[in-house]
Chain A
Amino acid sequence: MTPTDPLDDAALVQRLRSGDLEALDALFHRHARGLLGVAYRLTGSSAEAEDVVQDLFVGLPVALRRYSEQGALGAWLRTVTVRLALDRMRRRERRREVPLDSMPAPNAGASSAGAMEARWELERALATLPDALRLVFMLKEVEGYSHAEISQLLGIRIGTSEVRLHRAIKALRGVLRGQP
């Protein structure tokens, strides 16, 4: 059985629905790292990403009662994570707060100094994007949502989503090629 075997997910969901919190642990070990990545790429903050994932798993036992087993659990968890992250970003705007990791650290996952430097550059480039552009870019190119889905998630028009993606790519190209 692979770590993301959907059949296994379904069994874990069933166990969690019947109140077995050990199933929550299994789901956490299986999905948390990927979901942290989703939340981190959207919020730009490791602390907020952890808060998002915490909220997700605290709410999971109740929310799973409404989860329809027609789709893959992983995709559903990602969508809920995206919504939680967007929600959190809007809240911090009112408090006039900026993400704590506004200059992200080099990622520990890189295998060599060169690769680490390259990834550091990518993360730095992403950090320069305004939230509106970074969100659309991440949702479309990294998380694989359609423009129609992004328009629903962000409450914007499909055309707006397309324009923002275009601008995000253009801006990233500029930064990565050393243009102002």
Chain B
Amino acid sequence: MMDRWIDEIAQLRGPEPSDDLLARIHDRLARGEHVILPVEDGAPAATRWWPRAAAAALVAAGTALLFLWPTAPLTAGDTQGELTFTPATPHAGDTVQVVYRAPTTLASRDRLVLRARYRTPHDDSYNAGMRQIVAGELTPAADGLFRTSLRLPGPVVYGAFAVEDADGRIVDSNGHRLWELLVHDRGGQPTFDALTQRENDLMGRNWEQGYETARQVAALYPDRIASWSNLLFYENNVLGESHFDSALTAHRARLKGFHDRLAPRASLGGDDLGYMFWYARIVRDSVRESFWKRRLEREAPASPLAVQNRAIAIVSREWKDKDSVRALADLDRLWDEAGPAHGNLISLGWRMARRLADSAALVRWAQHSWQKDPRDSTFIAEAFTQVPALREEGMRLLREELRGLEARNDARRALERTVDEQQAVDAAESREILVTLGDALIASGRTTAGLDTLKRAVRDGWDVALLRRVAQIQVSSGDTAAALRLLGLVAVDPETEAWNRDSVSRLMGRPVDSTKWSRIVNESGDEMRRRLLDLAVRRPLPPVVRLEAAGGRAARFDSLARGRVTVVAFWSRYCAPSKAELPALERLAARLRRQGVAVVTITDERVSDDLEAFLAAQRLTFPVYGDAWKEASRAFSQWGTPSYFVLDADGVVRYAYRDLARIPAEVAALQ
């Protein structure tokens, strides 16, 4: 018989909706936000976390989700050379000789630039906040090879490298793989820190390589609890939860081994305590999790995970007693004790200060945030502009950000990116900042300046959410003519479905003459194409790219496109983020095929019965080709799945990115 308390649990109600929950939903809708809901039957939600996480990381990096290739008509083969390091397994602080065999496009230069991203043991995952430097100048010798030497700075454990011309307009990034140096120990083994930083660098660039690195760490450093805790993360999120389940037994046995060995020790460092707590937590051993949580908070109360737990305890109490003032004071005290030990302390303190609209606290927690990452300015500036007492300071910060984006700054330019590509990324970021600035100017009573700033923000680029947001500000400020033009652009974006086009004009808040609206929509189609073509690049492919079709026969890529606009998708069923997007790709492919667009999907394995069975089980009907000879990966300079490309009818790559939602608009611009 079922226990009565199970029925009682079923009766448990959740929290009451906040008073402003519906208003916040409308606010996001008004800003034109898109949330793709996981509605596919049978599609496990397990892998869907990545696209948004990666998107957030990319946005943080200021890439605006676009990877733009050089404007010069170069194929991948033209820009890929060969870089070698001696010694290839350096020790910390070593001097390394660098030799570069340049491709034809770079071979005639009298000097080339070797750029690097160096990592030290405490650098974070993802490359959003990382700085790039010039590691050396490569000069040609009589044998035609370029040479230089570099000395690894003392604390550096990992370096990623690319070569470019002196102007930064042609970049050889080894097909986006970059070249790498890992610091090795005296036994010739890559150090734990070097491998960990390699993982961090690969985060968001190539998950499968990150997983391989995590496996290597566990194999080389099995006595470190961090090795296994980290490997378990990849097993869960790259291989999927069904694999995770099968690995859990071994991880639990390993946890027990570590526990039996470490628990009797009276003195352990904060890292060991923290990793034991986290490992127990993710293998779902609640008894050991509680044991290590207690020890962590007692013996290393200022360590990162202990600080996170303590901050959460403060916020949890506030949730119950609603005493936000006391909670903020406690978070302040925790900061005084522990400083920037864990990012969550800063985000919770910042959130509490915002909730109280306490301007002194906002300034204080903004300073804490800057102490952890001096580049975190835009969200702080935006929050400041919403508090009257801080609005002027917020606008000053926004202008400072804009000035920073106008100047060339190679330190924040990713290694794979040319100067032109960086300019496009900076322009997209500037547009967002200009909108926030315009909004703030209007709020401060400087309406004319604000409306001018908004117009400047949306005069080019193609960001529908931004267009919509500006239109709404313009409507509420009385600039209805400008707003109507922007709403026309929103209406013609292919993602704005036909049924919704006319309702876009309702955002004006008053009836719009239907003849006038039709004329605006017609004109907007041309305007959309102009803007999108401004963002396009030209990157021809090599004349022959072979793919493996069903039955193992070879197919030429150009014969598949046959003079049509073509969408190319690279995917892998062994990459969870890529696999998660397959249902959406299936829907998009069906829609595009109806429009006469060729769709070619390329997977990283050979065509086989097993692959066919997978496609049938997933109900995928788009055409699939195997990159059996790796010619496609080289031709597209593609590394890491999923990645998508749009080609014009001449077979030239015009757009390359990792966001499915942008494809329909770019296709429309090329048709």
Contacts and interface: CB of A to CB of B under 8 A. Distances in A.
A99 B313 CA distance: 10
Contacts of B9: 122, 126, 141-142
Contacts of B24: 54
Contact of B18 (A50, A122, A129): A50
Contact of A37 (B12, B284, B312): B12
A82 B16 CA distance: 18
Contacts of A60: 37
Interface stretch (B234-242, B399-407, B445-453, B627-635): B234-242
A155 B241 contact: yes
B218 to A, nearest CB: 17
A101 to B, nearest CB: 5
B312 A94 contact: no
B617 interface: no
Contact of B35 (A59, A96, A131, A141): A59
Given A25-B22, A154-B44, A17 B38 contact: no
B245 A157 contact: yes
B264 interface: no
Contacts of B513: none
B560 interface: no
B269 interface: no
A11 interface: no
B578 to A, nearest CB: 16
Contact of A21 (B26, B38, B502): B26
Contacts of B44: 152-155
A98 B15 contact: no
Interface string A95-135: 01111111101111100000000110011001011111100
A96 B281 CA distance: 10
A65 interface: yes
B500 interface: yes
Interface in A53-76: 53-63, 65-67, 76
* Secondary structure of the B contact surface, majority rule: helix
A49 interface: yes
Contacts of A53: 17, 21
Interface centre among A18, A39, A94, A142, by most chain B C-beta atoms within 10 angstroms, is A94
Contacts of B499: 17-19
Interface in B1-47: 3, 5-6, 8-10, 12-18, 21-22, 24-26, 28-29, 33-39, 42, 44-46
Interface string A76-91: 1000101110111011
A155 B503 contact: no
B139 interface: no
Interface centre among B24, B25, B53, by most chain A C-beta atoms within 10 angstroms, is B25
Contacts of A7: none
Contacts, number: 189
A160 interface: yes
Interface string B238-251: 00111001000000
A141 B546 CA distance: 53
A98 B12 contact: no
Given A98-B308, A155-B46, A56 B37 contact: yes
Interface centre among A55, A57, A67, A96, by most chain B C-beta atoms within 10 angstroms, is A96
B128 to A, nearest CB: 14
A172 interface: yes
Nearest to A63: B37
Nearest to A35: B14
Contacts of A17: 499
Contacts of B33: 58
Interface in A32-55: 32-33, 36-41, 46, 49-50, 53-55
A10 interface: no
A37 B14 contact: yes
Contact of B319 (A59, A61, A86, A105): A105
Contact of A93 (B13, B35, B233, B286): B233
A129 B506 CA distance: 49
A21 B30 CA distance: 11
Given A19-B500, A36-B15, A90 B25 contact: no
Interface residues of B, number: 66
A58 B25 contact: yes
A41 B13 CA distance: 8
Contact of B278 (A65, A96, A157): A96
A176 B37 contact: no
A54 B28 CA distance: 9
Contacts of A98: 281, 308-309, 312
Contacts of A38: 14
B241 A108 contact: no
Nearest to B35: A59
A160 B284 CA distance: 14
Contacts of B14: 33, 36-41, 46, 49
A142 B17 CA distance: 20
Contacts of A90: 45-46, 49, 236-237
B25 A19 contact: no
A32 B241 contact: no
Contacts of B26: 21
B641 to A, nearest CB: 19
A173 interface: yes
A22 to B, nearest CB: 11
Contacts of B42: 152
Nearest to B286: A130
Given A19-B500, A98-B308, A80 B315 contact: no
A141 B6 CA distance: 7
Nearest to B28: A58
Interface centre among B36, B52, B284, by most chain A C-beta atoms within 10 angstroms, is B284
B497 interface: yes
A49 B500 CA distance: 29
A30 to B, nearest CB: 12
B17 A50 contact: yes
Nearest to B348: A100
Contacts of A25: 22
Contacts of A39: 14
B12 A122 contact: yes
15 contacts: A19-B502, A19-B503, A33-B17, A37-B13, A37-B14, A49-B15, A57-B22, A61-B29, A80-B38, A84-B37, A90-B237, A102-B313, A108-B16, A130-B289, A155-B242
List 10 tightest A-B contacts by C-beta distance, closest first: A19-B503, A40-B14, A37-B14, A59-B35, A130-B284, A155-B44, A155-B241, A46-B15, A83-B38, A83-B45
Given A54-B28, A98-B312, 18 more contacts: A19-B499, A19-B502, A21-B26, A24-B29, A32-B17, A40-B15, A56-B37, A67-B39, A86-B46, A90-B49, A93-B233, A94-B237, A98-B281, A99-B312, A101-B319, A142-B9, A154-B46, A169-B3
